[in-house]
Chain A
Amino acid sequence: MSMTVFQAMNGATFAALLFIVASGFTLIFGLMRIVNLAHGALYLMGGYFGLVVAHRTDSFTLALAAAALAVAAIGFGTYTLLLRFVGGNVLRQVLLTLGLALVLDDLALVIWGGDAFTVPIPEALRGPVQVGSLVYPKYRLFLLLFSVAVFIGLALLLRHTRLGALIRAGVDDAEMVDAMGIDIQRVFVYTFMLGAALAGIGGVLGGAFLTLYPTADSDILVFSLAVVIIGGRGSLAGTAIGSLFVGMLATFGQVWFPELAYFVIFGPMALLLAFRPLGLFGRTA
């Protein structure tokens, strides 16, 4: 019994990490219809940047901030130098972001080598904590709270700020936002940077308990894709529920059917899509 609770907690905390990464993915996908296949690589870069800064400064907070900024900067470059020139051409977007993912991966391999690293976490978050009868790692609980904070922060941004209103309007009809006298490309750039920063933050948070290694990005990317497909594009609540769904299935799948771990996620996903092609919260464009 308590083993099941323990696994459920593991599922929830993995879901928390997925939510942080996938919310960035869905923001970009929802507004710009760009399937950013480099999102996993941005996660990995964030993890490595965080690793370097955490070792240099001994500060986890600085590591998070540095990773967010550095990966947002990569996002800025990617969008303004590359993506904006391919327009709405999906094939070119896919090839471009896939190419970028490969380049970033190789770069990481050259700089950091093939070893697995773990981002050091502060003393205060180490060790277990007792919750009722359950003994559980403190860090994972912190991750859960962090993801709730990210959810609330993003919800407030989208609901109550002008940028948030512009992002929502852009999801509905980007051309019309531009015809209103608002430079939609600027909204796109900000959103792309925000989405990239979330991947970078996810890299640091994930790198502290899943370890970082050169192909860690493809797992995270595949899981993020599943989250967004299940939740429906551009929906925050959908992303949260999709994350829980995927997080739980991944965790329990690995325990119960280790050989079928991927099928346990993508089987139900295919079934769900058969009945709700736009995902749980998807709306038609």
Chain B
Amino acid sequence: MLEITNLHAAYGDAQVLRGVSMRVDKGRIVALLGRNGMGKTTLIRSVMGMTPPHVRQGSVTFQGQELRGLRPHEIAQRHIGLVPQGRRLFASLTVTEHLTMLGRAARHRSQWSVARLFELFPRLGERRQHRGHQLSGGERQMLAVARALTQNPELLLMDEPSEGLAPVMVQHLERTVLELRQLGYAILLVEQNLYSALAVADEAYILETGSIVHHAPVDALRHDRPTMHRFLGV
């Protein structure tokens, strides 16, 4: 579904990704792990066509089509949903407005009506007139996920969705992610929270200073103490 091959990306002269290759298949949750500053967000931004960084080499294909060179909205329109690091909600939009930003035609085609999103996240329904900055941390994360779903995505890119959430909200998030996989979504999940990633993912890649240094099924990684210690410091 998503295939990244030998991707090089840089901020100006600072090379951050040095030949990353990985793939995410339909119905799979793939975790991308790695310590702070290793280039996880840079990878997500590169896939999404967001600049900076600038992709210098390599390719990103989705369902066989090259994404490199497309602009972010063109990539999103190919049904890739983004839950960015830090949520990045719109402070002056209400909850409902976040979910109705897309044009009527696009919303009509989407299987995620506002009503269905409020079914998935009842808390958002109760706060539909609140603005982005009036929500609690957990509600913000739900809204960030709901907003990405309006895209009718087949692939979700989630960048540290559990960051800053209380444990019960992390569990809620994990359940949501698993539900989405049940529905056949592919998910690329960037996580600092190793235990959360291990709880939901099928396989994991470890990124270390811009390169993939390890790739394994999560079941194997869970018992691989030396690898976890070496690359993740746990």
Binding site for B on A (CB under 8 A): 162, 165-166, 168-169, 171-173, 175-184, 283
Can you report 22 A-B residue pairs in the complex whose CB atoms are below 8 A from each other? Answer: A165-B101, A168-B92, A169-B90, A169-B93, A169-B97, A171-B92, A172-B92, A172-B93, A178-B71, A178-B73, A179-B72, A180-B73, A180-B82, A180-B101, A180-B150, A180-B151, A181-B73, A181-B76, A181-B106, A182-B101, A183-B73, A283-B91
B93 near A178: Cβ-Cβ < 8 Å: no
Q: Which of B76, B91, B102 contacts A179 (CB 8 A)?
A: B76
| Chain B residues near A162 (CB-CB < 8 A) | 100-101, 103
**Chain B residues with Cβ under 8 A from A172's Cβ?**
90-93, 132
Q: Is the CB of A166 within 8 A of B48?
A: no
- In the complex the two chains form, what is the Cα distance from A105 to B137 in whole Å? 52
Please tell me if B50 contacts chain A, counting CB pairs below 8 Å. Answer: yes
Q: Which residues of A contact B97 (CB under 8 A)?
A: 165, 169
- Asked whether A180 and B102 contact (CB < 8 A) given A165-B97, A175-B50, the answer is yes
Nearest residue in A to B151 (C-beta to C-beta)? Answer: A181
CA distance A168 to B103 in the complex (A): 16
A179 adjacent to B101 (CB under 8 Å):
no
Residues from chain B with Cβ under 8 Å of A184 in the complex: 73
The answer to whether B138 has its CB under 8 Å from any CB of chain A is: no
> Closest CB-CB distance, B10 to chain A, in whole Å?
18
Q: Residues of B at under 8 Å CB distance from A?
A: 48, 50, 71-73, 76-77, 82, 84, 88, 90-93, 97, 100-103, 106, 132, 147, 150-151
Query: Which residue in A168, A175, A178, A181 is a CB contact (below 8 Å) of B102?
Result: A181
- Considering the chains assembled together, what is the distance between the CA atoms of A58 and B171 in angstroms? 71
B48 touches A168 (CB 8 A): no
Which residues from chain B contact A182 at a C-beta distance below 8 Å?
Answer: 73, 101-102
CB of B88 within 8 A of CB of A173, answer: yes
Top 8 closest pairs, chain A to chain B, by CB? A181-B76, A169-B90, A178-B72, A172-B90, A168-B92, A179-B72, A181-B77, A176-B88
Contact A169 B84 (CB under 8 A): no
Residue in A166, A178, A180, A283 with the greatest tally of chain B CB atoms within 10 Å: A180
A176 to B72, CA, bound (A): 9
Query: Once the chains bind, are B90 and A168 in contact (CB under 8 Å)?
Result: yes
Report how far A166 CA is from B91 CA in the complex, Å: 12
The smallest beta-carbon distance between B170 and chain A, in angstroms, is 23
A177 to B73, CA, bound (A): 8
- 15 additional A-B residue pairs with CB within 8 Å, beyond A178-B73, A180-B101: A162-B101, A165-B93, A165-B100, A168-B92, A169-B97, A172-B132, A175-B72, A178-B50, A179-B48, A179-B50, A179-B82, A180-B82, A181-B77, A182-B73, A182-B102
> Quick check: A176 and B106 within 8 Å, CB to CB?
no
- Is the CB–CB distance between A177 and B71 below 8 Å? no
Q: Tell me which residues across on chain A come within 8 A of B50, comparing CB atoms.
A: 175, 178-179
Residues of the A chain whose Cβ atoms lie less than 8 Å from the Cβ of B73: 178-184
B93 proximity list for chain A (CB < 8 A) = 165, 168-169, 172
Output the nearest chain B residue to A176 by Cβ-Cβ distance.
B88
A171 neighbours in B (Cβ, 8 Å): 92
Q: How far is the CA of A283 from the CA of B132 in the complex (A)?
A: 15
- Please name the residue on chain B nearest to A181 by beta carbon: B76
Give the residues in chain A near B101, CB-CB below 8 Å.
Answer: 162, 165-166, 169, 177, 180, 182
Specify the chain A residue showing the minimal Cβ separation from B77: A181
Chain B residue contacts of A181, Cβ below 8 A? 73, 76-77, 102, 106, 151
Q: How far is the CB of A134 from chain B (nearest CB, A)?
A: 40
The interface residues of chain A lying within 8 Å CB-to-CB of B132 are 172
The smallest C-beta distance from A86 to any residue of chain B, in angstroms, reads 15
- Which residue of the partner chain B has the closest CB to A173? B88
Chain A neighbourhood of B147, CB < 8 A: 180
Closest chain-B Cβ to A46's Cβ sits at a distance in Å of 30
Q: Closest B-chain residue to A172, C-beta based?
A: B90
* Bound: A165/B88 CA distance, A: 16
Query: How many Å from the CB of B165 to the closest CB on chain A?
Result: 20
A166, B93: Cα distance in complex, Å = 9
Decide: A176 and B91 in contact? CB cutoff 8 A.
no
Contacts A166-B101, A181-B106; A173 near B72 (Cβ below 8 A): no
Closest residue on chain A to residue B92 by CB atoms: A168
| Given the contacts A162-B101, A166-B101, A180 and B88 also touching, CB distance less than 8 Å | no
CA distance A177 to B102 in the complex (A): 10
| Cβ of B112 to closest chain A Cβ, rounded Å | 13
Most buried by B among A162, A169, A283: A169
Contacts of A176 in B (CB 8 A): 84, 88, 90
A162 CA / B96 CA spacing, docked (Å)? 12
Which chain B residues border A175 with CB–CB below 8 Å?
A: 50, 72
Q: How far, in angstroms, from A168 to B100 measured CA to CA in the complex?
A: 13
